[in-house]
Structure formats: C-alpha cells, structure tokens
C-alpha cells in the first residue's frame, strides 16, 4: 500500500507539471479574445483531466 501512495503522488505531481506546460502552450498558440474565454477553457480542461485520472485510478485498483 505504501508503494501505491508513492506512485499516486508521482502521478499527481506529473499532472500538475503537465497542466503548467499545457497552460503555457495554450497561451502561446491558442487565440482567445478575452480572459474569460481562456478561463472557461482551462476550467473544462482541468475537470476533464481530473475525471480521466480518477477513472484510470479506479481501473488500477480493481
């Protein structure tokens, strides 16, 4: 169980790094007319990433 907690923390750390890199890429390459559009997009992206992570962890725990 200890190994699983360490693995989970590594995945969470990777997810945070990925979000930061992705935000920077989006700011450079995507065209948003307002800050509100960017915030809405990032909110949807963060929710999707969290759901996919939860789904993958549930599959591994079975």
Instruction: Give the dihedral sign, CA 44/49/50/52.
Output: positive
pLDDT tens-digit series, residues 1-40:
456 667 777 888 888 888 888 877 776 776 766 777 777 7
Run of H or E including 57: helix 35-61
| CA dist., res. 11 & res. 24, Å (int) | 20
What φ, ψ does residue 36 adopt, rounded to 5°?
Answer: -60, -40
Beta carbons of 22 and 45 less than 8 angstroms apart: yes
pLDDT band at 42 (very low <50, low <70, confident <90, very high): confident
The count of structural domains within the chain is 1
Structural domain of 22 = 2-61
How many helices (H) and strands (E) would you count in the chain? Answer: 2, 0
* Single pTM value for the model: 0.40
């Amino acid at each position: 169980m200890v190994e699983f907690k360490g693995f989970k923390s590594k995945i969470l750390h990777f997810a945070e790094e990925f979000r930061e890199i992705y935000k920077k890429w989006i700011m450079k390459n995507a065209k948003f007319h307002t800050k509100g559009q960017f915030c809405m997009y990032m909110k949807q992206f963060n929710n999707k990433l969290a759901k996919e992570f939860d789904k993958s962890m549930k599959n591994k725990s079975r």
